[in-house]
Amino acid sequence: MEFESVIGLEVHVQIKTRTKIFCGCPTTFGGEPNSQICPVCAGYPGVLPVLNRKVVRELARTALALKARVNSHSIFARKQYFYPDLPKNYQISQYELPLAEKGELSFTLDGQTRTIGIHRIHLEEDAGKLLHAVGNKALNHTLVDLNRTGVPLMEIVSEPDLRTPEEASEYLSTLRTRLRYLDVSDCNMEEGTMRCDANVSIRPRGQTSLGTKAEIKNMNSFKAVRDALSHEIRRQEQAVQAGERIVQETRLWDAARGVTISMRSKEEAHDYRYFPEPDLVPIHLDAAALEDLRKTIPEMPEQKRARYADQWGLSAYDVNVLTENPSLSGYYEETLTSSWPSEQQAEAAKPVANWVTTDLLGRLNAEHIDPADSPLTPARLGELVMLIQDGVISGKIAKTVFDEMWTTGRAAKDIVQAKGLVQVTDEGAIARWADEVISANEKAAREYREGNERAIGALVGAVLKKSAGKANPQLVNKILREKLSSKPS
Amino acid sequence: MSVTWTARNIADHVRAKKLSAQAVLQSFLERQEKWEPKIQSFLVRTRDQALVQARQIDERVTRGEPVGPLAGVPIAIKDNMCVQGLKTTCASKILESFVAPYDATVIRRLREADAVLVGKTNMDEFAMGSSTENSAFQTTRNPWNTDCIPGGSSGGSAAAVAARLAAAALGSDTGGSIRQPAACCGVVGLKPTYGLVSRYGLVAFASSLDQIGPFTWNVGDAALILQVIAGHDPLDSTSVDRPVPHYTNALTGSVKGLRIGLPDEYFVKGLDPEVERAVLESVRVFESLGATVQKISLPHTEYAVAVYYILAPSEASANLARYDGVRYGHRSGNAKNLLEQYELSRQEGFGSEVKRRIMLGTYALSAGYYDAYYLKAQKVRTLIQRDFDSAFKQVDVILTPTAPTPAFRLGEKSGDPLQMYLSDIFTISCNMAGLPGLSMPCGFSSAGLPIGLQLMGRPFEEETVLNAAHSYEQATSWVREPTLS
pLDDT digit string (tens) for B164-220? 999 999 999 999 999 999 999 999 999 999 999 999 999 999 999 999 999 999 999
- Does a structural domain hold residue B144? yes
- Amino acid residing at A150: G
Nearest CB among A82, A144, A279 relative to B342 is that of: A82
- Does a structural domain hold residue B321? no
Burial letters A267-289, b for 16+ CB under 10 A, else e: eeeeebbbbbbbbbeebebeeee
The CA-based angle A458-A460-A466, given to 5 degrees, is 105
Residues of chain B with pLDDT > 90: what percent?
94
Chain B interface mutation, best of A82, A270, A271, highest count of B Cβ atoms under 10 Å:
A82
So what's the pLDDT on residue B423? 86
Question: Is the pLDDT assigned to residue A383 strictly greater than 70?
Answer: yes
So what's the pLDDT on residue A135? 62
Check which CATH number belongs to the domain holding B246 and give it.
3.90.1300.10
Tell me if A46 and B101 make a contact (CB, 8 A cut-off): no
So what's the pLDDT on residue A199? 96
pLDDT band at A171 (very low <50, low <70, confident <90, very high): very high
With helix as H, strand as E and coil as C, how does chain A read?
Answer: CCEEEEEEEEEEEECCCCECCCCCCECCCCCCCCCCCCCCCCCCCCCCCCCCHHHHHHHHHHHHHCCCEECCEECCEEEECCCCCCCCCEEEECCCCCCEEEEEEEEEECCEEEEEEEEEEEEEECCCEEEECCCCCCCCCEEEECCCCCCEEEEEEECCCECCHHHHHHHHHHHHHHHHHHCCCCCCCCCCCEEEEEEEEEEECCCCCCCCCEEEEEECCHHHHHHHHHHHHHHHHHHHHCCCCCCCEEEEEECCCCEEEEEEECCCCCCCCCEECCCCCCEECCHHHHHHHHCCCCCCHHHHHHHHHHHHCCCHHHHHHHHCCHHHHHHHHHHHHHHCCHHHHHHHHHHHHHHHHHHHHHHHHHCCCCHHHCCCCHHHHHHHHHHHHCCCCCHHHHHHHHHHHHHHCCCHHHHHHHCCCCCECCHHHHHHHHHHHHHHCHHHHHHHHCCCHHHHHHHHHHHHHHCCCCECHHHHHHHHHHHHHCCCC
- Does a structural domain hold residue B211? yes
pLDDT band at A342 (very low <50, low <70, confident <90, very high): confident
So what's the pLDDT on residue A387? 83
Tell me if A273 and B362 make a contact (CB, 8 A cut-off): yes
Task: Determine the distance in angstroms separating the CA of B26 from the nearest CA of chain A, rounded to an integer.
Answer: 32
Q: For A311-329, write each residue's pLDDT tens digit.
A: 888 888 889 889 988 899 9
So what's the pLDDT on residue A90? 97
pLDDT band at A136 (very low <50, low <70, confident <90, very high): low
In chain B, the residue whose alpha carbon lies closest to the alpha carbon of A45 is: B203
CB contact at 8 A, B348 and B323: no
Measured CA to CA, the distance from residue B471 to residue B465 in angstroms comes to: 10
Lowest mean pLDDT among A197-201, B324-328, B418-422, B453-457: B418-422
- Does a structural domain hold residue B422? no
pLDDT band at A139 (very low <50, low <70, confident <90, very high): low
Q: For B371-408, write each residue's pLDDT tens digit.
A: 999 999 999 999 999 999 999 999 999 999 999 999 99
Measured CA to CA, the distance from residue B240 to residue B211 in angstroms comes to: 13
What residues in B contact A44, CB-CB < 8 Å?
A: 100-102, 327-328
So what's the pLDDT on residue A94? 97
Q: For A207-265, write each residue's pLDDT tens digit.
A: 889 999 999 999 999 999 999 999 999 999 999 999 998 899 999 999 889 899 988 87
- Amino acid residing at B193: T
- Does a structural domain hold residue B99? yes
What residues in A contact B312, CB-CB < 8 Å?
A: none
3-class secondary-structure state, position B437: strand
Question: Is the pLDDT assigned to residue B436 strictly greater than 90?
Answer: yes
In this prediction, residues B144-153 reach a mean pLDDT of 97
Task: Determine the distance in angstroms separating the CA of B358 from the nearest CA of chain A, rounded to an integer.
Answer: 13
**Active-site residue flag, B157:** no
So what's the pLDDT on residue A393? 80
In chain B, the residue whose alpha carbon lies closest to the alpha carbon of A38 is: B101
- Does a structural domain hold residue B481? no
List, in order of start, the domains of chain A with CATH numbers: 3-291 (no CATH), 301-418 (no CATH), 427-485 (1.10.10.410)
So what's the pLDDT on residue B441? 98
Total count of domains within chain B: 1
Question: Is the pLDDT assigned to residue A269 strictly greater than 80?
Answer: no
DSSP 8-state symbol, B405: S
Q: For A49-97, write each residue's pLDDT tens digit.
A: 999 999 999 999 999 999 999 999 999 999 999 999 999 999 999 999 9
Decide the pairing of beta strands B74-78 and B168-173.
parallel
Q: For B211-260, write each residue's pLDDT tens digit.
A: 999 999 999 999 999 999 999 999 999 999 999 999 999 999 999 999 99
Q: What is the mean pLDDT of chain B?
A: 96
Identify residues of B whose CB sits under 8 angstroms from chain A CBs.
80-82, 88, 90, 95, 98, 100-102, 104, 199-204, 206-208, 234-238, 314-315, 317-318, 321-324, 326-328, 338, 342, 362, 365-367, 370, 374
Q: What residues contact B144, with CB distance under 8 A and at least 6 apart?
A: B162, B185, B186, B407, B448, B449, B450, B482
Size of interface A-B (CB pairs under 8 A): 98
**Active-site residue flag, B207:** no
So what's the pLDDT on residue B420? 84
CB contact at 8 A, B158 and B175: no
Q: Which of B20, B27, B130, B177 is catalytic?
A: B177
Domain range holding B46?
7-255+436-475
Task: Determine the distance in angstroms separating the CA of A187 from the nearest CA of chain B, rounded to an integer.
Answer: 30
Question: Is the pLDDT assigned to residue A489 strictly greater than 60?
Answer: no
pLDDT band at A123 (very low <50, low <70, confident <90, very high): very high
pLDDT band at A147 (very low <50, low <70, confident <90, very high): very high
- Does a structural domain hold residue B126? yes
- Does a structural domain hold residue B463? yes
pLDDT band at B62 (very low <50, low <70, confident <90, very high): very high
So what's the pLDDT on residue B221? 98
Task: Determine the distance in angstroms separating the CA of A148 from the nearest CA of chain B, rounded to an integer.
Answer: 16
**Active-site residue flag, B177:** yes
Tell me if B237 and A43 make a contact (CB, 8 A cut-off): no
pLDDT band at B457 (very low <50, low <70, confident <90, very high): very high
Question: Is the pLDDT assigned to residue A448 strictly greater than 90?
Answer: no
Cα A117 from chain centroid (whole Å) = 21
pLDDT band at B418 (very low <50, low <70, confident <90, very high): confident
- For residue A195, the cross-strand partners are A12
Q: For B358-369, write each residue's pLDDT tens digit.
A: 999 999 999 999
Task: Determine the distance in angstroms separating the CA of B366 from the nearest CA of chain A, rounded to an integer.
Answer: 5
Measured CA to CA, the distance from residue B149 to residue B403 in angstroms comes to: 13
Measured CA to CA, the distance from residue A184 to residue A294 in angstroms comes to: 14
- Amino acid residing at A15: I
